[in-house]
Structures are given as C-alpha cells and as structure tokens.
C-alpha cells in the first residue's frame, strides 16, 4: 500500500508535465497557474529518468515521438520505463493496440469520456496528437479516435488526461504486479471509474479546487482499488464484468457520433459525484454511480473473498460472487460502506449444500469449534477415544475430572496420615523431581501441544526407576544430589552451587554432568535457568 | 488455539512449580502442627487432610497463574475464604445455566461440568471446554506429584 501510494505520488508529479506540455501549445489561460508545478515536476521526475530510462520500450518511444518537447519524451520514457519495470514489456505492448483501436476496448471508451467532457474545442490536431501521445504512453490506453481530437485540446483536458494517465499508470502498475494476465480488464475498470469522476471537473474556473478534490477522491478511490486489486489475483471475472459495464456506458460516447449528449449525462452524474468525493472521501467517491458502487463493492468483496478463501475452490468463489453481487445491488443503493459486512459473511462460509443464512453459518462455526475442543479433550481423557457422541463424551470427561478430584482428595488424606515424615521429604522429593524432570525434559523443551503436560508417559516411566534407585550408583550423581539437598533452602544459592559442582566434574564426567545439569535445570525456576546453563557450559 | 500461545504453559515449569509450592505449603503445615508430633485423632487428621487438599489446589492454581479462568477462580475463592477452604468444586454455584441451550449436548451434563471446573459457571461452552482440558491436565499433574510425594514420604 505504501508502495502504491508512493507510486501514485510519483506518477502524479511526473504526470503534471503532460498537462503542462499540452498547455504552452494551447496558449490557454491556465499556463501561469501550472508553470511552477512544471519545474517541480520535472525536477522530481529526473531521478526516474536516470533510473528507468533504460527500460523504455520501443513502441512507446515511437508513440512519444509525436510529442513536442524533449522533456516530455523523457518523462514519458520514465513512465514507460516504470511501467516496463513493473509489468513486462509484453504486457504493455498488447495494451497499446487497444488504445489505438479505441473503439473496441473498454479502455478507450473510458478515456473517451474525459475527452468528451471539456467544453473547449479550440486546439488543433497536432496538440491533440501530442496529448494523445502523452496519454498513450503512460496509460497506454488513450484512444486515437478522430472524434476525440477536437475535445482534447484545452489545458484542463491535458491536466485531466495527465491525471488519467497517472491513474492508468497506477492501475497498470498495481494490476500488473498482481495479475499480469488480466491487466486490460482491470485497468479498464479502474480507469473508467476514475475517468467518470474526473471528467466531472470540466468547468475550467472551478478546475483547481475541483481538481484537488477530485484528485484526492480519485486517488483515494484508486488506492482502495489498488489495495484490493493488489491482493487480488483471482476475481478477474467480476472485474472484467465491471469493466464491460462501465465501458458500455462510456462506449456510447465514441460509438454514437452524438458526442455531447452522453457526455452531458456523464457530466451530470459526475457533478453529483464530485461533492461526494470532496466531502466524504473514498467510499462516496467510489460510489459515484451505481455501477461504480457495484464495482467498488464487488472489488472489496472479491478481495475479502480472496483473502479468506484463498484455498477455497472455484465453485465456492463463484457462489460467493453471486452472493456478493446480490449484496452489491443492495449496497449500491445506499452507497455506504460496502466492504465490511460481506467480509465477515464470507469469512464464515464453509458450505456444501447447507443452509447459508447468517445464523446457521455462525452456528455451524460455533459447533465446529466446540467439536474441535471436544476432540482435544477426547485425547486428554483416557478411554474417551472409543466413545462417540458428545453427550457420552461429556459424561466421560465429567467422570474423569471427578475421579481426578477424588484422587487428589485421597492423596491429601494419605499425606495427612504420613505427616510426621514430612520434614525430610523435601530432599527426596527434590531428587525425585529431578528424575521426573530428567525423564520429561527433552520432550518438554519445545512444547508443541496446546496443553502443558505432554510428558506424562515419560513421567510414568521415570517414576519407577526413581523409586527403585532414587540415586543411581554413580558417585557423581549421588554426590550432586546430596549437594543439592544440602543447599536446598536458599534456592538461588542452590542452583549456583549445583552448577559449580557440575563444572567441577565437567572434565571427567561430561555426560554425567549433562544429566546433573538437566536435573538442576528443572529444579530451578525459569529465571535461574540460563545462568546455570552458562556456568555449566563454561 | 488459545492455550498453545500461552507462554505460561511450559510443562516442566508448571509441574515443578506446583511441586515446590506444594512442598512448601506442606512443610509450613507440618511446622505449624509440629508442636504435636503425632496428632492421630480423626478430627485433626480430617482437618489436616482438608488443609493439604486446599494447599494442593492453591499451589496448583498459583503455579498455573492467572491466565486460566479456573485457576483464577480457585485463587479468588482462596482469597475470599482463607479460613476454611473447602474443596471449591463441590460448592453449589449460582446454577445459572448457559445462555443458549445446546441441543446436541445434555444440559445436565454441561451444568455438571460447569460445577466441576472452578469458575466454569459463567463462561460459554467453548471456553468451558478449553478450561476443562487445561484443568484436567493440571489435575493429572497434581495427582502425580502428590502420589510421588506420598511415595517418598512413606518409604
């Protein structure tokens, strides 16, 4: 996301020269306004030139030849190089024919709407070509329609076109990064959305403010889309469908020779959408037209779907798409926050011909979790493996817990009777603890299971040996054990002395020292362990 | 699973911590009662048995730490009634059943399990199962350690 934002900014700054490049030729009023930004933009675009000029592909360069100034070419090359660096050159090249053909592809239609929108028709074909060339290279979609030529002359258009090119760049980049195969469809969709929004800004006087707002709105919307699309590799179908929808709207413009009427419609739509985009930021901006809303919601849902059901099969995705479409049509009415509810909705889904309403889905998830826990418990409780049925299993669990509690009671009773010998119990217990922990230690170093005491079989095996020979015949071990038991009451000192003893014996009885060390280790509390270890290893 | 990510479930640590605490508690008990070396009348023995049992539960709960609901409940009960700590599980709770009755599980069994697991009266069923699993493991460890202590003290 940050990358994309960065790239957006870069493209924005570098795209400004396009708008300006169109402007000195057009001699429009806005030249003075744009001049300062020209220099900045050029300066900013220089590093890209140095970095990416080598990446320029030949067809785009040939397109760029139509433009007037060298700086434009440079900038264009930068953009191309950037595109080429991110997408493959082979991907760019098929898109350019689309842009040239213009009539067929959705991309050209998308761009045709902004072209139609500017009211000023002053300029000549040369400027138009330049602008077109400019647009073509970054966006690689800009149509070379003759009908567009008169409209494209004004600086507002140039600026807009530059912005479109930014959007196209962004869309190209973001989409190419993710799904190189499906670039055209996605790009057409994104760019069509943006073009609709931005083309609403054609009144020149308001251009500044509106452009600011539109840029924000459009970019944020595009950001959203990028964030979605960057995650997305799967939902191409939806996006393609959307692009076709949008393109069908905008294709009416070049297709029908009456350019102005659909343009007016689009503008009216867009004028509605502009204040939304300004005031409400992204969701409203995304939801400028119902189709746009559909697109946005579908994008979001497809992304949600994608992120959650990546491993899901294509069937599930298709079903999810249908659902998403249903929800989209609801959401396009209110235009508010399409993405959130379907995410959860989709997240829950694991259906194979089961009920699909939210309650049953949630219930199913809950039941699955419960059964999962029950399985864990089943492993815990002995003799519960053969039992089928949760009620019986619960019975078993209850019985087991009760028996354990009874055992605790019984043992405490026993311990109460054994009372008088308690004083020297400590030492024996400690040694026995050592043994038990020694038996269980290697398995417990890295607890992988969910429950704490996995080593109980080991303990069972360790107990009898400990009972038989609490201190093995080994001299060192017995000495160590005595030393430990002598030093018992201060725990910290105990660990230190034990480790010292172990270091003392380390030369001869290394393996035994290891044993003794492990015993020490388990006796200590956690904080003491590493120090003892270090000492032993010295 | 929640328990798996719990940093306090190092197995050796809980067991050994429990053993240490329990031994300390028993020592303290025997030192307190040490004035009369052989109090073998039944009342004293029962009292002592209860104290040892309470000590075992308390030491286990403190060894587990406050991350588990059942250990928290045990510790709370100990704190509230330090005087005579009866086995906390047999206490009749508020008998508040689960909010949504489960058809697939017997309600009586669930209620019983809630009463068995300390602090299990107020949690949902999934969490109750989690806590039950952990509680079972801890009880098992407790039984083992106590058995070993008994063995070594008797021989």
pLDDT at A201 over 70: no
* A520 touches B: beta carbon within 8 Å: no
Q: Which residue is closest to B10 within chain A, CA to CA?
A: A452
pLDDT for residue A347: 58
pLDDT band at residue A465 under the 50/70/90 scheme:
very low
Share of chain A above pLDDT 70, in %: 12
Enumerate the residues of chain A whose CB falls inside 8 A of the CB of residue B56.
Answer: 408, 411-412
- Structure-model confidence comparison of residues A47 and A418, the more confident one: A418
What value does the mean pLDDT of chain A take?
A: 46
pLDDT for residue A90: 39
CA distance A371 to B28: 44
* Subunit contact A454:B11, Cβ cutoff 8 A: yes
Q: Which of B5, B8, B14, B15 to mutate to test the interface with A (most CBs of A within 10 A)?
A: B15
pLDDT at B15 over 60: yes
Å from B6 to nearest chain A CA? Answer: 9
pLDDT at B75 over 80: yes
- Structure-model confidence comparison of residues A20 and B139, the more confident one: B139
Inter-chain CB pairs, A–B, below 8 Å: 202
pLDDT at A72 over 60: no
Taking the mean position of all CA atoms in its chain, how far away is CA A259? 41
Enumerate the residues of chain A whose CB falls inside 8 A of the CB of residue B4.
Answer: 449-450
**A163-194: per-residue pLDDT in tens?**
444 444 444 343 334 333 433 334 334 333 33
* Subunit contact A398:B52, Cβ cutoff 8 A: no
Å from A184 to nearest chain B CA? Answer: 43
CA distance A270 to A241: 22
**B113-151: per-residue pLDDT in tens?**
888 888 888 888 888 888 888 888 888 888 888 888 888
Task: Give mean pLDDT, residues B11-16.
Answer: 69
pLDDT for residue A495: 38
- DSSP letters, A60-125, are HHHHHTTSSSHHHHHHHHHHHHHHHHHS-HHHHHHHHHHHHH-SSSHHHHHHHHHHHS-------H
Task: Give mean pLDDT, residues A298-315.
Answer: 43
What value does the mean pLDDT of chain B take?
A: 72
Q: Are A273 and A221 in contact (CB under 8 A)?
A: no
* Subunit contact B17:A525, Cβ cutoff 8 A: yes
**Three-class secondary structure of residue A479 per DSSP:** helix
**In chain B, which among 43-72 make CB contacts under 8 A with chain A?**
45-46, 48-53, 56-57
Answering whether pTM is above 0.80, one says no
pLDDT for residue A397: 85
- Structure-model confidence comparison of residues A324 and A257, the more confident one: A324
pLDDT for residue A348: 55
pLDDT for residue A350: 55
**Most confident option among A153-162, A334-343, A416-425, B26-35:** B26-35
- Give Cα separations from A181 to A60, A89, A175, A381, B94 (angstroms): 20, 13, 9, 54, 63
pLDDT at B20 over 70: yes
**A249-286: per-residue pLDDT in tens?**
333 333 333 334 434 343 444 444 444 333 333 333 33
Helix spans in A381-509 (H): 390-417, 425-444, 456-468, 475-486, 491-504
pLDDT band at residue B69 under the 50/70/90 scheme:
confident
**Three-class secondary structure of residue B15 per DSSP:** helix
pLDDT for residue B58: 87
pLDDT band at residue A365 under the 50/70/90 scheme:
confident
- Return left, alpha or beta for A486; rule: phi > 0 is left, psi -120 to 50 is alpha, else beta: alpha
Task: Give mean pLDDT, residues A36-54.
Answer: 41
- Return left, alpha or beta for A154; rule: phi > 0 is left, psi -120 to 50 is alpha, else beta: beta
**B49-62: per-residue pLDDT in tens?**
888 888 888 888 88
* Subunit contact B136:A441, Cβ cutoff 8 A: no
Instruction: Please name the member of B89, B137, B152 whose beta carbon is closest to the beta carbon of A429.
Output: B152
Q: Are A32 and A187 in contact (CB under 8 A)?
A: no
pLDDT band at residue A374 under the 50/70/90 scheme:
confident
* Contacts of residue A284, Cβ cutoff 8 Å, sequence gap at least 6: A217, A273, A276, A277, A335
Enumerate the residues of chain B whose CB falls inside 8 A of the CB of residue A396.
Answer: none
* B136 touches A: beta carbon within 8 Å: yes
Å from B32 to nearest chain A CA? Answer: 12
Structure tokens at B75: 């510790």
* B116 touches A: beta carbon within 8 Å: yes
**A97-146: per-residue pLDDT in tens?**
333 333 333 333 334 333 344 444 343 344 434 434 343 434 344 444 44
Which of A205-219, A306-320, B31-45, B110-124 has the least mean pLDDT? A205-219
∠ CA A208-A209-A210 to the nearest 5 degrees?
95
Q: What is the 3-state secondary structure (H, E, C) of A143-188?
A: CCCHHHHHHHHCHHHHHHHHHHHHHHHHHHHHHHHHCHHHHHHHHH
Residue B64: CA count within 13 A, CB half-sphere: 28
pLDDT for residue B34: 53
Task: Give mean pLDDT, residues A73-83.
Answer: 50
Å from B94 to nearest chain A CA? Answer: 19
Q: Report which of B110, B32, B17 is spatially closest to residue A453, judged by C-alpha positions.
A: B17
Structure tokens at A339: 């993405």
* Subunit contact A453:B141, Cβ cutoff 8 A: yes
ipTM here: 0.78
Share of chain B above pLDDT 70, in %: 68
* Subunit contact A402:B3, Cβ cutoff 8 A: no
What is the number of other CB atoms lying within 10 angstroms of the CB of residue A143? 26
Q: Which residue is closest to B57 within chain A, CA to CA?
A: A408
Structure tokens at A478: 């017995």
Helix spans in A179-289 (H): 183-199, 207-231, 236-255, 260-280, 282-286
Which of A301-315, A379-393, B95-109 has the least mean pLDDT? A301-315
pLDDT for residue A89: 38
* Subunit contact A407:B143, Cβ cutoff 8 A: yes
Instruction: Please name the member of B4, B49, B104 whose beta carbon is closest to the beta carbon of A416.
Output: B49
* Subunit contact A408:B104, Cβ cutoff 8 A: no
CA distance B145 to A437: 11
pLDDT for residue B37: 53
* Subunit contact B146:A374, Cβ cutoff 8 A: no
Enumerate the residues of chain B whose CB falls inside 8 A of the CB of residue A395.
Answer: 109
CA distance A250 to A148: 13
Domain boundaries, chain B: 11-89+104-154
pLDDT for residue A77: 55
Q: Which residue is closest to B60 within chain A, CA to CA?
A: A408
pLDDT for residue A399: 87
């Amino acid at each position: 996301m940050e990358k994309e934002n960065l790239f957006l900014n870069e493209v924005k700054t570098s795209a400004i020269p396009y708008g300006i490049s169109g402007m000195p030729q057009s001699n429009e009023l806005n030249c003075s306004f744009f001049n300062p930004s020209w220099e900045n933009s050029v300066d900013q675009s220089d590093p890209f030139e140095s970095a990416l000029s080598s990446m320029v592909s030949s067809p785009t360069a040939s397109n760029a030849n139509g433009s007037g100034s060298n700086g434009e070419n440079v900038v264009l090359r930068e953009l191309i190089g950037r595109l080429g660096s991110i997408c493959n050159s082979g991907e760019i090249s098929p898109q350019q024919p689309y842009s040239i053909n213009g009539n067929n592809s959705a991309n050209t239609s998308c761009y045709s709407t902004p072209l139609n929108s500017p009211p000023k028709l002053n300029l000549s074909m040369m400027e138009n070509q330049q602008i077109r060339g400019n647009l073509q290279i970054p966006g690689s979609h800009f149509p070379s329609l003759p009908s567009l030529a008169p409209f494209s002359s004004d600086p507002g258009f140039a600026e807009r076109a530059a912005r479109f090119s930014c959007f196209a760049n962004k869309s190209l980049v973001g989409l190419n990064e993710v799904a190189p195969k499906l670039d055209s469809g996605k790009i057409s969709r994104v760019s069509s959305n943006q073009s609709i929004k931005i083309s609403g800004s054609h009144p020149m006087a308001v251009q500044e403010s509106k452009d600011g707002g539109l840029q924000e709105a459009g970019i944020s919307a595009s950001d959203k889309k990028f964030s979605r699309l960057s995650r997305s590799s799967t939902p191409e179908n939806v996006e393609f469908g959307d692009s076709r929808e949008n393109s069908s709207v905008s294709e009416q413009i070049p297709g029908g020779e009456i350019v102005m009427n659909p343009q007016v419609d689009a503008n009216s739509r867009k004028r509605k959408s502009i204040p939304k985009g300004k005031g409400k930021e992204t969701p409203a901006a995304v939801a400028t037209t119902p189709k746009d809303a559909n697109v946005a919601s579908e994008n979001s849902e497809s992304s949600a779907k994608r992120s959650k059901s990546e491993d899901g099969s294509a069937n599930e995705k298709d079903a999810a798409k249908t659902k998403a479409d249903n929800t989209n049509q609801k959401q396009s009415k209110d235009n508010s926050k399409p993405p959130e509810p379907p995410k959860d909705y989709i997240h829950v889904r694991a259906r194979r011909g089961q009920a699909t309403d939210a309650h049953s889905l949630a219930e199913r998830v809950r039941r699955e979790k419960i059964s999962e826990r029950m399985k864990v418990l089943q492993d815990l409780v002995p003799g519960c493996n053969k039992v089928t049925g949760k009620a019986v299993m619960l019975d078993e669990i209850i019985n087991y817990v009760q028996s354990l509690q009874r055992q605790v009671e019984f043992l405490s009773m026993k311990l109460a009777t054994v009372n008088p010998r308690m004083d020297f119990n400590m030492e024996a217990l400690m040694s026995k603890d050592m043994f038990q922990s020694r038996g269980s230690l290697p398995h417990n170093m890295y607890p992988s299971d969910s429950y704490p005491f996995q080593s109980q079989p080991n303990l069972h095996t360790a107990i009898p040996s400990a009972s038989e020979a609490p201190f093995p015949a080994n001299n060192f071990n017995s000495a160590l054990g005595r030393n430990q038991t002598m030093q018992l009451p201060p725990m910290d000192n105990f660990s230190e002395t034990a480790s010292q003893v172990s270091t003392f014996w380390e030369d001869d009885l290394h393996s035994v020292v290891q044993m003794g060390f492990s015993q020490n280790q388990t006796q200590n509390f956690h904080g003491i362990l590493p120090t003892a270890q270090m000492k032993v290893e010295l | 699973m929640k328990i798996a990510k719990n940093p306090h479930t190092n197995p050796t640590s809980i067991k050994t911590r429990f053993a240490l605490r329990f031994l300390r508690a028993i020592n303290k008990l025997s030192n307190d009662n040490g004035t009369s070396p052989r109090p073998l009348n039944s009342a004293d023995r029962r009292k002592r048995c209860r104290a040892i049992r309470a000590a075992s539960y308390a030491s286990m709960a403190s060894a587990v730490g406050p991350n588990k609901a059942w250990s928290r409940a045990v510790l709370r009960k100990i704190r509230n009634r330090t005087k005579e700590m009866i086995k906390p599980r047999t206490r009749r709770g508020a008998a508040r059943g689960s909010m949504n009755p489960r058809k697939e599980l017997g309600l009586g069994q669930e209620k019983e399990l809630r009463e068995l697991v300390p602090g299990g009266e107020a949690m949902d069923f999934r969490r109750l199962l989690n806590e039950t699993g952990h509680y079972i493991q801890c009880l098992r460890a407790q039984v083992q350690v106590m058995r070993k202590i008994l063995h070594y003290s008797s021989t």
